[in-house]
Amino acid sequence: MQSRELGTSGLEVSALGLGCMGMSYHRSVLLSPDEASSLLRTAVDLGVTFFDTAQVYGPFTNEVLVGQGLAPVRDGVIIATKFGLCDADGNPTVSSRPELIKETTEGSLRRLGVDSIDLLYQHRVDPDVPIEEVAGAVKELIDGGKVKYFGLSEPSADTIRRAHAVQPVAAIESEYSLWWRRPEDDVLPVCEELGIGFVPYSPLGRGFLTGAIDESTTFDDSDNRNTLPRFTSQARRANQAIVDLLRDLGVQKGATPAQVALAWLLARRPWIVPIPGTTKRHRLEENLAAANVDLTSIDIADIDRAASAITIEGDRYPADVAKRTGL
């Protein structure tokens, strides 16, 4: 697989990464350590070098799975993790106090089994801690050799600018796909201006854009899609039009809807690196094959024109969760 540089940071990763959350958090099927290791190593064999986890996934269990699964190939991969949604004991909290950042980073280092974290994101902006203090704390960790690169998840354009002035930001991780394009308004432009890479999470709309989910699909009680307004039966029925668009183009390209959705993201900017997640090998192989789907400028224009005529129904998050994002 080809590699991409995240902005102008010097951090090179595979053009498609692997989001690891669903292996142990927020999804119906959770993987055992052996199953997770097998999937992670298969991803490496297929060319993936970029893996995404977070302290709150579990909490903590996902970092352990990723650390153990990638230990034999550690020198050849980039692991990103995130702080700010749980304390050092795993209790849920939105806090980016500098002392807590440093304390929880020590825990991440232990769980991942590394001396330095490749890419450390603030998971969500803390309204009670100025972003300058957050960036300053990460800068100290970078200066001390415990972190290599700094990132932010779901920040506003203003937050990005303020953080970048203290410690250069290598990557922004936010939701971005054909059914959530808000980053195009001001976040992607500021990333381009400042030389920051962009990492779309949920690039397949939490599975909806694969075409494998319809209005009759049911989710396990542990699956957080049950709580998302965009995943009510009514919304799924209304939003089927966006899947139909991907499927129609896929027929022309010999590709699946998921592959077209990922290829569309890859075509947006050369510094965009989607991180689709999966727990299934065949889906992993399908997703990674999107790197070989060639969308022309005419294809992109056709997709954008058709997508602009589709109104997506349902908010992506409940109101109490949405207020934590900068978008």
> Which residues belong to the active site?
57
- In the numeric block, the tokens 């950042």 are attached to 101
DSSP one-letter string for 83-139: ESSB-TTS-B-----HHHHHHHHHHHHHHHT-SSEEEEEESS--TTS-HHHHHHHHH
90 contacts 100 by C-beta, under 8 angstroms: no
C-alpha dist (Å) from residue 285 to 9, 278, 289 = 29, 10, 6
User: How far apart, in whole angstroms, are the C-alpha atoms of residue 120 and residue 53?
Assistant: 10
For residue 193, what are its two tokens? 């201006």
User: How far apart, in whole angstroms, are the C-alpha atoms of residue 183 and residue 176?
Assistant: 7
83 contacts 108 by C-beta, under 8 angstroms: yes
User: How far apart, in whole angstroms, are the C-alpha atoms of residue 83 and residue 10?
Assistant: 23
